[in-house]
Amino acid sequence: MALETAKGVGTFAVDWSLRLDPLSGLMILVVTGIGFLIHVYSTAYMDGETSGAYARFFSYLNLFCFFMLTLVLPRTTS
């Protein structure tokens, strides 16, 4: 991707990746398991809400679970 700056045109590159080691794999299972239990409990807890509030709550909950899963994966740079 070309990036124009005040000094001229340069290139912008972000080199990073996620690594899966045995400890990260175990933590992914823990986070996923607890997240699943929270989702199951929340379906009964949110039973009387409107469909918009229900969808918004679970969207935020899924986003939180996504960020928790990316948090337990160590990042590596090249």
pLDDT digits (tens, 9 = 90+) for 3-39: 666 666 666 666 778 888 899 999 999 999 999 999 9
Residues 78, 18, 73: CA angle, nearest 5 degrees: 135
Write out the H or E segment, with its range, that includes residue 75. strand 75-77
Residue 46 is predicted with a pLDDT of 87
pLDDT digits (tens, 9 = 90+) for 33-46: 999 999 999 999 88
How large is the average pLDDT for residues 67-73? 90
Q: Which two tokens stand for residue 35?
A: 């997240």
Q: Which two tokens stand for residue 65?
A: 């679970």
Residue 4 is predicted with a pLDDT of 67
Residue 9 is predicted with a pLDDT of 65
How large is the average pLDDT for residues 58-66? 95
